[in-house]
């Protein structure tokens, strides 16, 4: 399976930790549902996770957790959207190594700190939506 698309589907509950075993997943889209629980679980956001992911769309849910540094291993990611959730913590500097990223949407979360200067390394970035609290 290369794509899992279930947006605007009234889905509820948490994401399964086995998501990382659905390889090579390129598109994951669960926008506009009622999903909750941790968004970035080690099983798919970690070392052996979704390395082939291109589109990760999880906006407009109730996800919690932080953005792990391991997300820097998603080197093929082009669209990373998780706006309008309950994500906390800071944006890791490893985001700056995602050279293929074209859009990064994280507005309406509880992210704090400042935008890491490494974001400036993203030469293909066209859409950047969000502002950490305190920046």
Q: Using 50, 70 and 90 to split pLDDT, how confident is the model at 132?
A: confident
Would you give the DSSP letter of residue 107? -
125 exposed, middle or buried (CB, 10 Å; 0-12, 13-18, 19+)? Answer: middle
pLDDT at 16: 81
pLDDT at 98: 97
pLDDT at 118: 96
The residue whose two tokens read 């540094």 is: 69
The distance from CA 98 to its chain's CA centroid, rounded to whole angstroms, is 12
Share of the chain above pLDDT 70, in %: 94
- Averaged pLDDT, 66-70: 94
Q: How many CB atoms lie within 10 A of CB 8?
A: 11
Q: How far apart are CA 132 and CA 111, in angstroms?
A: 5
Q: What is the pLDDT of residues 8-39, one digit of tens each?
A: 988 999 988 777 676 688 999 999 999 999 99
């Amino acid at each position: 399976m290369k794509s899992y698309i279930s947006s605007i589907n009234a889905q509820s509950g948490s994401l399964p930790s086995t998501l990382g075993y659905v390889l090579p997943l390129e598109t994951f889209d669960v926008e506009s549902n009622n999903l909750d629980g941790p968004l970035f679980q080690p099983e798919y956001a970690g070392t052996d996770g979704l390395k082939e992911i291109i589109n990760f769309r999880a906006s407009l849910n109730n996800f919690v957790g932080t953005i792990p540094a391991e997300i820097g291993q998603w080197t093929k990611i082009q669209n990373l959207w998780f706006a309008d959730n309950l994500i906390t913590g800071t944006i890791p500097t490893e985001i700056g190594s995602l050279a293929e990223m074209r859009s990064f949407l994280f507005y309406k979360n509880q992210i704090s700190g400042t935008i890491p200067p490494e974001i400036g390394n993203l030469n293909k970035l066209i859409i950047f939506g969000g502002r950490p609290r305190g920046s």
